[in-house]
Structure 1
Amino acid sequence: MQMKNFLKEKLARKPYVLGAFVASCSPTNVEILGMNGLDFVILDMEHSPLGLETMVDMIRAAEAYGMVAIPRVYTIETKLMRRVLDIGAHGLLVPMVNTMDDARYVLDAVKFPPLGQRGMNAGRGPRWGAYDHYIQEANDALFTMFQCETREGLRNVEEMAKLEGLDSIFIGTGDLSLDMGHPQDLKNPEVAGAIDTILNACVKNGKIPGIVTGTPEAAAERIHQGFRIVTIMNDLGMFKKQSQLQIDKVHALCP
């Protein structure tokens, strides 16, 4: 069975793809999002207690609906990134990639030779030891994303965007605006200019630009701006918002 990446296939035929951050450690939530038609989910290890034993079931739930699960690791560390790939992740979002050394380190860790130094294993990723063609397929199918979310990363984004093996640069607007001294003020000229700089670096160098949003209107605005990978929600945030609306509505009807 050939290893495929549904996200790459969708990006080849669609102008944009929609996704969500999943911080709930819930395979059920992943399944529901896939059932509703999302293209991908980002499994958030950075800001949740999510571990690998739960993550593998979340990846399976995504695959059942032709959706790609992309773990966001919590550190640039070789063993962690490789273990995530060994359980079958077809993508990887790496936060705080700030320097060219960071960027090269990540690519070296996640690619098999001759592109990197990833080692062989007999886990779920290589189909329990079915190595025929796996190395080349894995190098081709893996969707690698760097997160640009600091001024230092911004200074290096043009050079990073030239790297072979990198597929996408994803903007963490919250941390980027915080690092620039304008937390969550995405209309600030400096922050807006930084977002444009990252977008332009991606377009110029054939990388796919991605960004986080929180509303349908914000998502549409970013898509029209030229972003092709767009997250539209966090599952826990959505649960909080919708449950609060239900509670408030009942109280309003029964004062």
Structure 2
Amino acid sequence: MKMRNFVKEKLTENGYVLGVFVASGSAMNCECLGINGMDFIIIDAEHAQTDTETMVDMARACELYGMAAFVRVYDPNDLPMMSRLLDVGIHGLMVPMVESRDQADGIIRYVKYPPIGKRGANGGRGPRWGMYEDYTKQSNENLYTIMQCETKRGVENIEEICQTPGLDCIFVGTADLSQDIGHPGDVNHPDVVEAVETVLNACKKHGITAGIVTGNQDAAIKRLKQGFRLVTCMNDQVFFRTESAKCLRAVRTGFAAQ
């Protein structure tokens, strides 16, 4: 029995991958996204309520459709917790607020097995209770590690961070980055644009996949054309709220016009 890295496969096949932040904690939503052909989801454990048992159900739903399930952790310094999430079968992690090479190295130590890191051996769902052959080697090759650059200090140190062995992707969080730079929410401010370009160029230079958050289809297309290769195009809870509001307004307006 062998592991697969759905994101790496699709990056090789298509040149880019599209994903969704799933804040709802809904395995049903994950299944719908998988049916639609989404490439990956990011279970948001930083700003949402999802517990570990629910994450496992969400990962199972994703696996039915060849869609990767990542988790954005809530504490970039809680390194043992990262190992535990991988032990229960999550396909990879997104770590917020990574600002230095030392911090990046510490994360890798807990998500990779020796000789790369120091993650402890286990017999849980991650290795499928012993069914994966040579699990430590397969895990080091296939579990995906994403680190977020979303502060001014992170941008300043991005060249060194991108050279971290075992790192797969740098993901720009534009909301926090624009806030930290001093232009909250203004992703088009020249200082923010320059910072984003700095991260993108460093990723290209060092062979790291460049990722970024967007909130709609037009923004996602723009970032793909810019050179980002791992792009989120929505948050499932925000999408449900906005689209349900549109439907409700349309029905009420249409009825009132009769």
TM-score in terms of structure 2 length: 0.97
Deviation per residue, 1:13-59 (Å, 9 max, x gap)? 21211000000010000000111110000000000011101000000
**Tell me, what secondary structure is at the counterpart of 1:254?**
helix
Shift of 1:131: 5.7
**Tell me, what secondary structure is at the counterpart of 2:136?**
helix
Structure 2 letter corresponding to 1:151: K
Taking the aligned partners of 1:78 and 1:191, their CA distance within structure 2 comes to 30
Shift of 1:129: 2.6
The aligned residue for residue 41 of structure 1 is 41
Shift of 1:100: 1.6
Taking the aligned partners of 1:131 and 1:213, their CA distance within structure 2 comes to 36
The aligned residue for residue 91 of structure 1 is 92
Counterpart check, 1:141 vs 2:146: no
Q: Does the CA-based 8 Å contact 2:72-2:96 persist in structure 1? A: yes
Deviation per residue, 1:164-183 (Å, 9 max, x gap)? 10010000000000111111
The aligned residue for residue 3 of structure 2 is 3
Taking the aligned partners of 1:67 and 1:136, their CA distance within structure 2 comes to 22
Pairwise CA RMSD of aligned residues?
Answer: 0.8
Paired residues for 1:53-202 under 5 Å:
53-76=53-76, 77-130=78-131, 132-202=133-203
Taking the aligned partners of 1:37 and 1:105, their CA distance within structure 2 comes to 34
Q: Does the CA-based 8 Å contact 2:70-2:92 persist in structure 1? A: yes
Taking the aligned partners of 1:8 and 1:225, their CA distance within structure 2 comes to 20
Q: Does the CA-based 8 Å contact 2:3-2:132 persist in structure 1? A: no
TM-score in terms of structure 1 length: 0.98
Q: Does the CA-based 8 Å contact 2:2-2:132 persist in structure 1? A: no
Larger displacement relative to structure 2 (128-137 or 57-66): 128-137
Distance 1:62 1:131, change over 3 A: closer
Q: Does the CA-based 8 Å contact 2:172-2:196 persist in structure 1? A: yes
**Tell me, what secondary structure is at the counterpart of 2:171?**
strand
Taking the aligned partners of 1:205 and 1:64, their CA distance within structure 2 comes to 33
Taking the aligned partners of 2:196 and 2:132, their CA distance within structure 1 comes to 41
Shift of 1:78: 1.7
**Tell me, what secondary structure is at the counterpart of 1:53?**
helix
Structure 2 letter corresponding to 1:109: Y
Taking the aligned partners of 2:185 and 2:96, their CA distance within structure 1 comes to 18
Shift of 1:253: 0.9
Shift of 1:250: 1.0
Taking the aligned partners of 2:133 and 2:217, their CA distance within structure 1 comes to 43
Paired residues for 1:215-230 under 5 Å:
215-230=216-231
**Tell me, what secondary structure is at the counterpart of 1:43?**
strand
Shift of 1:89: 1.2
Taking the aligned partners of 1:108 and 1:224, their CA distance within structure 2 comes to 34
Shift of 1:91: 1.2
The aligned residue for residue 52 of structure 1 is 52
Deviation per residue, 1:211-249 (Å, 9 max, x gap)? 000111111110000000000000000000111001100
Structure 2 letter corresponding to 1:6: F
Structure 2 letter corresponding to 1:70: F
Structure 2 letter corresponding to 1:66: G
Deviation per residue, 1:58-95 (Å, 9 max, x gap)? 00000100000010010121221011101111211000
